[in-house]
Amino acid sequence: MNTSPGTGAKCVVLFTVNGEAKKLFVHPMERLLDVLRNDLRLTGAKEGCGEGECGSCSILLDGMLVNSCLVPVAQASGASIVTIEGMSAHALMNPLQEAFLECGGAQCGICTPGMILAAVYLLEKKPEPAPADIREGLAGNLCRCTGYMQIFEAVSKAARRRVTK
Partner 1 sequence: MRSDPAEYKLVSPGNLPAVLSLLAGEPAQWLPIAGGTDVMVLYSAGKLPNRKLINIWNILELRQIEVSPDRIRIGAACTYTALRRHDIVSREFPLLAMAASWTGGIANQNRGTLGGNIANASPAADSLPALLAYEAELTLISVRGERRVAYRNFHTGYKQTVLAADELIRDISLPRRFSGYLWYARKVGARNAQAISKVCLAALGQISDGTIRDVRLALGSVAPIPLRLNKTEHALTGKKIEPSLIDTARKMVVTEIQPIDDIRSTARYRAAVAGNLVAEFLERLATERKNA
Ligand X SMILES: Cc1cc2nc3c(=O)[nH]c(=O)nc-3n(C[C@H](O)[C@H](O)[C@H](O)COP(=O)(O)OP(=O)(O)OC[C@H]3O[C@@H](n4cnc5c(N)ncnc54)[C@H](O)[C@@H]3O)c2cc1C
Query: Using CB under 6 A as the criterion, which residues of the chain lie in contact with ligand X when the complex forms?
Result: 52-53
Kindly tell me the burial class for residue 128, based on how many C-beta atoms sit within 10 Å of its own C-beta (0-12, 13-18, 19 or more): exposed
140 CB neighbour count, 10 Å cutoff: 15
- Choose among partner 1, ligand X, ligand FES, none what residue 64 binds, the Cβ cut-off being 5 to 8 Å by kind: partner 1
- Give me the sheet containing 11-17, strands edge to edge: 20-26, 11-17, 80-82, 58-61, 64-67
Print the binding letters for residues 31-70 with partner 1: x by CB under 8 A, - otherwise: x------------------xxxx-x--x-----xxxx-xx
Which helix (H) or strand (E) segment is 12 a member of?
strand 11-17
Q: Which residues pair with 161 in a beta bridge?
A: none
CB of 75 to ligand FES, least distance (A): 15
Indicate whether 72 belongs to the interface with partner 1 (CB under 8 A): yes
CB of 38 to ligand X, least distance (A): 22
Q: Which residues bind partner 1 (CB under 8 A)?
A: 1, 3-4, 6-9, 26-31, 50-53, 55, 58, 64-67, 69-72, 74-75, 77, 118, 121-122, 136-141
